[in-house]
């Protein structure tokens, strides 16, 4: 991880190096870091800034995941979890911060979409390669997570 700055980011500051469910560990890291950053620096980490951070994180993540995938010889290595982090941060900006039950539900739904990759997520996962493909399928999983939560709230 420390051989290149892109690896540090792509591997979620080490959270992706877990030998057990690295994607889930990366998503947990996203959840914890979101709350830590929002609580520790609330004046810096409000909605508008989170949107900028997520967009910048997506763009930088394309580069970091592309470089890391090439160095590891596997374009979408399981240790690369920056895509989960950015996508789950996107989900969290739409979930009420004090609603732990809704956040837990969002976590479980997001992990379902990210692991199972039902259509159309699977299509994009298989067709889009490189750093963009790594990042994009998780953004689509985040979209379906938010859509599921919206439908659930309406029902």
User: How far from 49 is each of 44, 46, 117, 136, 155, CA to CA, in Å?
Assistant: 7, 6, 29, 21, 31
Measured on CA atoms in the order 8, 57, 63, 65, is the torsion positive or negative? positive
The DSSP secondary structure of 26-89, one letter per residue, reads HHHHHHHHHHHHHHHSTTTSSHHHHHHHHHHHHHHHHHHHHHHHHHHT-TT-TT--HHHHHHHH
Domain limits for position 57? 20-154
28 within a domain of the structure (yes/no): yes
Structurally, the chain folds into a number of domains equal to 1
Distance separating alpha carbons of residues 147 and 48, to the nearest angstrom: 21
pLDDT tier, 129 (very low <50, low <70, confident <90, very high otherwise): confident
Q: Does the pLDDT at position 46 exceed 80?
A: no
Asked if residue 135 is part of any domain, the answer here is yes
Distance CA 11, CA 22 (A): 9
pLDDT band at 53 (very low <50, low <70, confident <90, very high): very high
């Amino acid at each position: 991880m420390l051989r290149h700055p892109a690896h540090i980011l792509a591997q979620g500051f080490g959270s992706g190096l877990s030998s057990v469910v690295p994607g889930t560990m990366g998503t947990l890291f996203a959840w914890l870091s979101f709350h830590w950053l929002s609580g520790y620096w609330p004046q810096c980490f409000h909605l508008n800034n989170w949107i900028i951070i997520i967009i910048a994180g997506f763009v930088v993540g394309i580069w970091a995941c592309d470089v890391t995938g090439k160095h590891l010889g596997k374009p979408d290595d399981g240790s690369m979890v920056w895509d989960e982090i950015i996508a789950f941060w996107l989900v969290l900006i739409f979930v009420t911060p004090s609603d732990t039950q809704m956040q837990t539900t969002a976590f479980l739904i997001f992990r379902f979409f990210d692991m199972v990759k039902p259509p159309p997520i699977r299509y994009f996962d298989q067709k889009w390669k490189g750093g963009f493909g790594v990042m994009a399928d998780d953004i689509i999983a985040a979209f379906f997570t938010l859509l599921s939560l919206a439908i659930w709230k309406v029902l």
